[in-house]
Amino acid sequence: MKRSTLTEKETQIVNLGVSIAAGCQPCTKYHINKCKSKGMSDNDIHNAIKKIEKICNIALGAMISSALNRVNVSKDREIDLLVECDNRQDILIGLAVSYTINSTTLFEEYLNLANKLEISKKEISAIIDISKFIYDKAKAHVDILSEESGVEKQIIDRGNCSPGCGC
């Protein structure tokens, strides 16, 4: 039977994964402390961070490989998109990180793994909500710093992008 909600520990590890993937230092520090308050050991947190790092690196490698292939210069890069996922927590982290860093290829892989482990749509929706919230919070931290330094935001003409691009 599928669960309908994430546990507190799962929620905090997802929060940590999103914080790191979003590049938010204040959020990362906060969520490491929250993981500890939910009973996670330093070793558990360390292992989760290493998994997050690996997922981020694989996603970046896949994006670089895709970009290189599009310029027909190098086709010698093969990226292994299969990340070791032997438990529920690994897949939850993978969903959170791949969604946050916009890796459609990896996110699709994790959605397939989530389905096999019977992770519910409600749980995946919660992960997406967490990702959006923390990503926006991370962006707000940088926006505040840029505004305090007197940098004005520029209006960008998005006329050349495809409707699905989202940039």
List per-block mean pLDDT (blocks of 10 residues) for the chain, which spans 167 residues: 78 93 91 94 95 90 80 55 72 91 87 90 94 87 81 61 49
Residue 94 lies in a domain: yes
Q: Where residue 12 sits, what CATH number does that domain have?
A: 1.20.1290.10
How many angstroms separate the Cα of 90 from the Cα of each of 14, 97, 101, 123, 143?
Answer: 10, 10, 16, 14, 32
Q: Are 71 and 96 in contact (CB under 8 A)?
A: no
Q: Is 156 contained in some domain?
A: no
- pTM equals 0.75
pLDDT for the residue 69? 78
Residue 108 lies inside a defined structural domain of this protein:
yes
Residue 137 resides in a domain: yes
What pLDDT is recorded for position 153? 65
**pLDDT at res. 150:** 80
Token pair 């699905």: residue: 164
| Number of separate domains in the chain | 1
User: What range defines the domain where residue 12 resides?
Assistant: 8-147
Residue 158 lies in a domain: no
Specify the pLDDT at position 81.
54
